Amino acid sequence: MKKLRPLIKGIVQLAFWLLVWQILAVFVSKPLLLPSPWHVLLRLFELMRQGAFWGATLTSLVRILLGMILAVCLGCLLAVLTSASKILYMLISPLLAVVRSTPVVSFIMLALLWLGRDVLPAFTAFLMVVPVVWANIYEGIKSTDTDLLQMAKVFGFSRPRAIRRVYAPSVLPFFLSAIRSAIGFAWKAGITAEVLTVPKSSIGRMVYESKLNLETADLFAWTLVVILCSVIIEKLAVSSISRLSGKYEARSVTT
Amino acid sequence: MISLIDIGVSYAGKAVINGLSMTIAGGERIALTGPSGSGKTTVLNLIAGLTRPQTGKISVSGSVSYVFQEPRLLPWCNALENLNVVMSDSQSTLPQAYEMLRRLGLADAEKKYPHELSGGMQQRLSIGRSLCYGGDILLLDEPLKGMDKALRDDIAALINEKTIGKTLVLASHDSTEIDIFADKVFAYHDRKFEREASV
């Protein structure tokens, strides 16, 4: 019963907001402005029967994931380097702070001058995710317990052993948190870039065309696809990382 | 052999140790005694290379093992792994780690994580880790604190057995601990540790 509780809670939450949406749709009673949830769901199933739906979803998925994976790698590398060198931190941290606080649209417009529209969504996702991953991992490295680091030093841990036994388990919760945020950021930034640059076969193009043709139900359906993809990828990524190093996370949380 | 010459250590501008000099010969078993804040732990940290002096010179020949005042166990490793990690950290030394657990009276706790152990059990594990590591010099910072009499005797006997012929430096203000482990005492007088007559 205890295991079912979160599921029941989730269903109740979903049902509540679907009900609110349905009431609003009835109240507005103009599907062009606000289609009902049922209408959107039906439209989604219709779209799913078309080959173009899967083509667009898969292309966007690959594009954005590619940008995100590269960003996670670079973010981790920068975190390691900046935590090891004060000079590098001094040089790199302002740049990442600027990237973090600049509106994504500004980057997209600027990058349009340099890059092709097919590459731009991946680049935008990459650019938005690097600072998030860097900040989280850097904080994780810096907050590693100095008592444990001293213990490792006294007992002559080699660098690989110190990384495996002290740093990695300490940083893992920060890494998971980074991945959770990164997936959300990557999707939002990537789809925004697609909407603004309308590359061939992409979710962004579908969203743009739905808006252009006033197909509001399609717009909602595609937005639903973006949300579902984001949630599924986050669950898959977090559960596989947790499974790979499950006990580390469990212990670091409970102690 | 451990040699500290005219050592000065200060934290945030406040001198903790000033002009400390002491020599401990190989195989000596000494105790540093003094009130809280006298710098006993700082001296151990200096010998272990964890604290750098602002002035003076330190020379330590031989590897150092340390029983910290607090256990400092890896929270994500179980009891057995916490011992094995200071040896080869592979299957090859697991039997030795398990044997140490047995000697510590913790054989039933091999799969338990630090947060599942009592404070006393964690302290025993920390002692076992230092003994597993070996080293030529053993630093002990109030190692038997909080243990009952029977347990104290067992653990003290184990430490003495495993450190025969080795240099031992104890920081404590507990006379029982000093009697058990030390032959000589450096007592804190007038902001300095001075060698007293043999115990």
Q: Does B72 contact A248 at a Cβ distance shorter than 8 Å? A: no
Chain B residue with Cα closest to A172: B76
Determine the pLDDT at residue A240. 82
Q: How far apart are CA B188 and CA B98, in angstroms?
A: 40
Q: How far apart are CA A219 and CA A213, in angstroms?
A: 10
pLDDT higher than 60, residue A255: no
Collect all residues with Cβ–Cβ distance below 8 Å to A56 and sequence separation of at least 6: A201, A202, A203, A205, A206
* Lookup: tokens for A190: 């990537």
Distances (CA, A) of B69 to A11, A66, A145, B114, B124: 51, 49, 16, 16, 12
Q: Count how many residues are written for chain A.
A: 255
Q: Does B75 contact A252 at a Cβ distance shorter than 8 Å? A: yes
| Domain interval for residue B13 | 1-63+172-199
pLDDT higher than 90, residue A42: yes
Q: How far apart are CA B199 and CA B195, in angstroms?
A: 11
B117 DSSP 8-state letter? S
What is the arithmetic mean of pLDDT over A212-224? 92
Chain B residue with Cα closest to A167: B74
What are the chain A neighbours of B128 within 8 Å (beta carbons)?
A: none
Chain B residue with Cα closest to A156: B86
In sequence order, what DSSP letters do the residues of B124-175 get, joined into one string?
HHHHHHHHHH--SEEEEESTTTT--HHHHHHHHHHHHHHTTTSEEEEE-S-H
- Largest Cα–Cα separation, chain B: 51
Q: How far apart are CA A173 and CA A51, in angstroms?
A: 39
B196 DSSP 8-state letter? -
Q: Count how many residues are written for chain B.
A: 199
Confidence class for position A250, pLDDT limits 50, 70, 90:
very low
ipTM of the complex model: 0.92
Q: How far apart are CA B178 and CA B193, in angstroms?
A: 15
Q: Is residue B84 part of a domain?
A: no
**A137-181 pLDDT tens trace:** 999 999 999 999 999 999 999 999 999 999 999 999 899 889 988
Closest of A47, A66, A48, A54 to residue A202, by C-alpha? A54
pLDDT higher than 50, residue A254: no
Q: Does B86 contact A155 at a Cβ distance shorter than 8 Å? A: yes
Determine the pLDDT at residue B31. 94
Q: Is residue B47 part of a domain?
A: yes
Q: How far apart are CA A138 and CA A132, in angstroms?
A: 10
Q: Does B72 contact A148 at a Cβ distance shorter than 8 Å? A: yes
Q: How far apart are CA A26 and CA A31, in angstroms?
A: 9
Interface test with A, best of B76, B82, B138 (most A CBs within 10 A): B76
Interface test with B, best of A146, A154, A159, A172 (most B CBs within 10 A): A154
> CB-CB: which of B50, B70, B85 is closest to A165?
B85
Distances (CA, A) of A49 to A42, A43, A210, A214, B114: 11, 10, 17, 21, 55
Confidence class for position A249, pLDDT limits 50, 70, 90:
very low
pLDDT higher than 80, residue A56: yes
Q: Is residue B189 part of a domain?
A: yes
Q: How far apart are CA A71 and CA A126, in angstroms?
A: 5
Determine the pLDDT at residue B163. 93
> CB-CB: which of A151, A161, A165 is closest to B72?
A151
A87 or A97: which leads in pLDDT: A87
Chain A residue with Cα closest to B114: A255
pTM of the model: 0.81
Confidence class for position A73, pLDDT limits 50, 70, 90:
very high
A245 or A252: which leads in pLDDT: A245
pLDDT mean across residues, chain A: 89
Q: Is residue B97 part of a domain?
A: no
Cβ-count burial A221-254 (b if 16+ within 10 Å, e if not):
bbebbbeebbeebbeebbeeeeeeeeebbebbee
Q: Chain A 146-205, CB below 8 Å of chain B: which residues?
A: 147-148, 150-151, 153-157, 161, 165-166, 169
The single residue listed with the structure tokens 């052993």 is: A161
What are the chain B neighbours of A161 within 8 Å (beta carbons)?
A: 85, 89
Torsion over CA: A103, A108, A111, A112 (sign): negative
Cβ-count burial A162-175 (b if 16+ within 10 Å, e if not):
beebbbbbbbbbbb
Q: Does B74 contact A153 at a Cβ distance shorter than 8 Å? A: no
CATH code, domain with B2: 3.40.50.300
Number of domains forming the structure of chain B: 1
Q: How far apart are CA B58 and CA A98, in angstroms?
A: 46
Q: Which CATH class is domain A36-254?
A: mainly alpha
Determine the pLDDT at residue A248. 55
Q: How far apart are CA B131 and CA B102, in angstroms?
A: 13
* Lookup: tokens for A144: 């590693």
Q: How far apart are CA A83 and CA A85, in angstroms?
A: 6
| Terminal alpha carbon distance of chain B | 20
Q: Does B113 contact A248 at a Cβ distance shorter than 8 Å? A: no
Instruction: Specify the 3-state DSSP secondary structure of B63.
Output: coil
For residues B144 and B177, the answer to whether their CB atoms sit within 8 Å is yes
Determine the pLDDT at residue B79. 96
Q: Is residue B129 part of a domain?
A: no
Strands (E) located in chain A: none
Q: Is residue B95 part of a domain?
A: no
Residue A118: exposure state from Cβ atoms within 10 A (0-12, 13-18, ≥19): middle
Min Cα distance B122 → chain A (Å) is 13
The amino acid that residue B57 corresponds to is: K
Q: Does B74 contact A169 at a Cβ distance shorter than 8 Å? A: yes
pLDDT string in tens for chain B (199-residue length): 899 999 999 888 888 888 888 999 999 999 999 888 888 999 999 999 999 999 999 999 999 999 999 999 999 999 999 999 999 888 999 999 999 999 999 999 999 999 999 999 999 999 999 999 989 999 999 999 888 888 899 999 999 999 999 999 999 988 889 999 999 999 888 777 887 755 5
B116 or A4: which leads in pLDDT: B116
In this complex, how many residue pairs, one in chain A and one in chain B, have their CB atoms less than 8 Å apart?
Answer: 53
